[in-house]
Amino acid sequence: MLVQQAFSPPALPARHRRWPSSMCGRASFHPSSSIEPLLRSASPSRPRGRRSRRRARPHDRDDHRRPCLGHRARGRGIRGYDSVRAPIPRATSHRAGAAGWKAGARLTGHRAPDGDRRTARARTDFARRIVVCDGAMGTMLHTAGVPLDRSLSELNLSRPALVADLHKAYVAAGARLLQTNTFDANRLRLGQRGLEENVAEINIAGARLARQAAETASEHPDGPVLVAGSVGPALSAPALTRVPAETRAATLREQIDALADWVDVLVLETFGDLESLVQAVEVALSTCDLPVIAQLTFGDDGCTLRGEDPATAASVLGGYDVAAIGANCTVGPAALHDVIAEFAAATSLPVSVQPNAGVPRRLGGQVRYARNASYFGEAAPGFVASGATLIGGCCGTTPAHVRAIASALDGMGPAVRIPPSRSRGLRLVPPAPAEHPARDLAGWPPPGRFVVVPGLPTPRDQHVDTFVELAAALRDAGADRIAVTEPEPPRTSVSPVAAGVVARERVGIEVMFSIEAVDRGLPALQADLLGAHALGLRTVICRTGSARVAGDYPDAGMQTTVDSLGLISLLAGLNVGVDCHGVAIRDATRFVVGAGIRTAALDVGTEVDRALAKVRAGAHFLVTDVVYDAHRAGRMLSLLRDRGVVVPVLVSIAPHADQRLLRAQSRETPGVVSAPSVVAGAQTPAAATKRALEMVAVLGGLAAGVVVRLSYERAAEAVGLVRSLVAARDTA
């Protein structure tokens, strides 16, 4: 049985104790954790003074210098970004001779004159002998107290000693291929933390640290330890769909160009689908002539996120001049054995494998992996027998895992491979676009018709009779459809999707439901939306949601992983047949997407800009907040039109709401103007109806319809108001 063990050894070395506990935040690893025991457990004692006896090289005296920014890169820029700022001179190409190396390495690199020989050797080594790769970098850094939300590649600059020690530990454990700490070191990922101008600096620093660690290795019959430049996807899978393909390509090219002169190999790792990996391979091969290892990540079912099997991947990648193909991350050794066997049977290329230590579990506030170094030692010969020649570890693995692999494979050679029977070089065909483009969905509200949509809060409990009766009365009053909204303030209630299905099936009226991003993760939101679509609901209003600090649950808190803009992007992707991970789904959805706009916002310009962004992201119509001042709302709607926002706008009114509450909300909500005096005081039903008709008359020329916020307590008045609005529309 595997024992679950947290990475939380004691006594952080003084030189690494730079993160105060307040900075560790919600990191799953204890801030006082140390990597030192893990390093010691994997590192045999080595003779002192070996490095000091090494013949001095031209760059040694300058190793303490950090690369600096200050010169413009000679390379290509990325659309939408300024030119890249890069370190000063480096070798003119990764094939630079000794003269070029001497000129550039002192300041920014650690590329030795024998780099060409190492690069050439890598191409043959991967097929002729077993190469032990290193293990996890991120896991070990988090173990040392680095917060989970920190950019790990930035540590190449801020904590180089920590990164260097990890590389050295893997070398001491027997790794013959080190991967640079640059998985997330591209412009898009670094830009999320304000580091987009440091792409070249961070990548070169990462390569230098790995090179320095490689040179600490003792002499080996197979030659020096190789340094592989780690390149991950341009963005995480959910965000990839919102970035144009040309921008992703330019992002990858910039990072690869920065690494190319300072590493021996490129490793394209943890790609979740074949299309994005093929793009990265094409960029790498067109940017440099380094050997390229192309690795996908597979699930327990033996397929990628997009459902591609290893044999298909091998056939497609076999059409490119890559040095090796393989799998890494997501699952442990057991799930990858069959994947590697399928790879080896479908290609004559060398095959790599770097499994996780297993499935992580969050226990006691920490992320824990199985303590299973010996298990990796047992699994390694099986990978070789299946056809792998590059074997290492990914998330959760440590130098102890690498030592177990190296020990198990000592003296072992590659297995005899049977030539593949499948043809190589299959062409990857992108999925066909959905039959109904999202733009065709913008048929509601119907052009030329002013729609009347009463809004009902969801029922408080499973007894929905009152809700059904009111919905039926509103249908008979002429409502075009009803809007089902979450209760305000937040209380126990039926979900808007469930209430919408009840209204649609029992009353026979179309439903517009709202969904809030707050307190839901992206996969959960996607599941709710796909469920709603399967149940026949098509019109949805996207909202970020408010903090859960009121009502019956004052301590409910708030957790937001995506806002309304991200929710709209998710729906836009589903409408063209792409899920939140950028993976094609069988059938595209047919959602009509709505978004909110605050007419009472103090900063009108910012609100209009955000509305424009929502429309560009995929919103088909807009719904205002409750309008207090028709003239102010009219000015904002006119400004929207002037800015080119031509989607329909529905105006929200609440004539029967508690006027004292409305006034309080307008004065107590940040970022909105105070409500005009007209909302002060209680209104009679006749006065409320008159007020609503006047507001609609003012805004009718700018709006495509009205959403009337109603309450169960004044149901009869609500039905009468809807009937009056419908009559006024029909006689206009």
Fold classified for 57-409: TIM Barrel (3.20.20)
Fold classified for 439-731: TIM Barrel (3.20.20)
Question: What is the rounded distance in angstroms from the CA atom of residue 541 to the CA atom of residue 588?
Answer: 19
pLDDT bin (cut points 50, 70, 90) of residue 166 is very high
pLDDT of 646 above 90: no
The answer to whether 146 and 152 have CB atoms below 8 angstroms apart is yes
Share of the chain above pLDDT 90, in %: 45
pLDDT digits (tens, 9 = 90+) for 526-537: 999 999 999 999
Residue with more model confidence, 582 or 155: 155
pLDDT digits (tens, 9 = 90+) for 568-605: 989 998 998 888 876 778 889 999 999 999 888 888 88
Name the pairing type of β-strands 351-354 and 324-328.
parallel
pLDDT digits (tens, 9 = 90+) for 427-478: 555 554 444 344 445 567 888 889 999 999 888 888 899 999 999 999 999 9
Position 323 scores a pLDDT of 95
Position 731 scores a pLDDT of 84
Question: What is the rounded distance in angstroms from the CA atom of residue 24 to the CA atom of residue 33?
Answer: 11
Name the pairing type of β-strands 539-543 and 511-516.
parallel
pLDDT digits (tens, 9 = 90+) for 254-285: 999 999 999 999 999 999 889 999 999 999 99
Residue with more model confidence, 149 or 212: 212
Return the structure tokens found at 3: 């024992």
HSE of 246 in the Cβ direction (CA atoms, 13 Å)? 6
- Provide CB contacts within 8 A for 519, sequence distance 6+: 545, 548, 556, 558, 559, 560
Rg (CA), the chain: 30
Question: What is the rounded distance in angstroms from the CA atom of residue 151 to the CA atom of residue 198?
Answer: 12
Position 7 scores a pLDDT of 35
pLDDT digits (tens, 9 = 90+) for 647-670: 999 999 887 666 565 555 555 555
pLDDT bin (cut points 50, 70, 90) of residue 139 is confident
The answer to whether 133 and 174 have CB atoms below 8 angstroms apart is no
pLDDT digits (tens, 9 = 90+) for 539-570: 999 988 765 444 444 444 444 567 888 899 89
- Cα 15 → chain centroid: 33
Q: Where are the domains of the chain?
A: 57-409, 439-731
Position 658 scores a pLDDT of 62
Residue with more model confidence, 462 or 148: 462
pLDDT bin (cut points 50, 70, 90) of residue 297 is very high
